[in-house]
Amino acid sequence: MSELNQKLFENYKTTHSNYLDGSNHKQQIRLDARANKNYTHLLPANKSANILEIGCNKGFFLTWLTNKGYSNLTGIDLSPGDLEEAEKYTGLSDLYCMDALDYIKDKDETYDLIIFRAVFEHIEKIYSEHFLQSVGKALKPDGTVLVEVPNMDWFIASHERYMDFTHEVGFTRESLRQLLSLYYSVVDINKIEEGYFTFSGMVRIKLLKPIIRTIIKVVFSIMGEGAADTWWSNRNILGIAKNFKKSHQ
C-alpha cells in the first residue's frame, strides 16, 4: 500500500465516510432492504457458520447478519475511525483494524463465507492475484466468496470510479468474472438491485425505474455497438465464487 493510501485510510472516517453516510439508523434501514433483496439466499444454512467481512466499515452488514441469526462473525477494516464506530454499533468483539492479508495469512480453511463489499476496487491490479489467493486459502473447501463492486457499465460509472481517491480499478460483469474464474471453479455474477424502505423509494424503484429503463434501452438499441446489452442500470454487481483452485496457491 502506498504511503498516501495509508494516510487516506487512517483518516477515512473524517475525510470520506462521514461525508457520505447519513445517520446510523437510516444507513441500517437502507442496507437491510438491499441485503434482504440480494444476499439472503446466498447465506449459509448453518447459523454457526464462520463468516468474515473484509472492509466492514461501521458494521451495518455485520449487524444485518446478526439480526439474521448468525453469531460467528469477524470484521476487518483499515479505517480506525470506522472500526471504532463498528465496535460501539455492533457490540461484536472480533473486529480488527488491520490489513486483511495480515489477518488471514494463518487462517487456512477457516471460513465458510468471506464477504468484501466496496473493497476490491481499492486494490491495485498487481496485488489482486495475491489477495484472491489468500482469500481462497482462508476458505473452507465448500466455502463461498461474495465480492460486491461498483459496476463500470452503470450509466454514471465515472462518478463511482473517481468519487474515492483510494479507488484503483473498476469492474464490469465481464472483467469481474474473468478475474474470479482464474482462481475459482464456480463463478456467477449478479446485478445488485436496490431495495426500498420508504414509500417514495418504492415508487421510484418499483414503478418509475422500469419505465425509464425501458425507454433508455430502446435508445441504446438504436445506438447499437452492444450498448443495450450492458448492465447500465445497476450501480453495483456481485461476484459469487466457489471451489477455490488449490493449484493457484
- Across residues 202-208, what is the average pLDDT? 69
Determine if the pTM surpasses 0.95. Answer: no
Mean pLDDT for the stretch of residues 149-173? 91
Residue 156 confidence (pLDDT): 87
β-pair partners for 55: none
Q: Whose CA is closest to 61, among 49, 79, 43? A: 43
Report the pLDDT value the prediction gives residue 9, as an integer from 0 to 100: 81
pLDDT recorded at residue 225 = 66
DSSP string covering 84-101? HHHHHHH--S-EEES-HH
What SS3 class is residue 54? strand
Quickly state the pLDDT bin for 218 (edges 50, 70, 90). confident
The whole-angstrom separation of Cα 37 and Cα 30 is: 11
Pairing of strands 236-244, 139-150: antiparallel
- Supply angle C-alpha 45, 139, 100, rounded to 5: 115
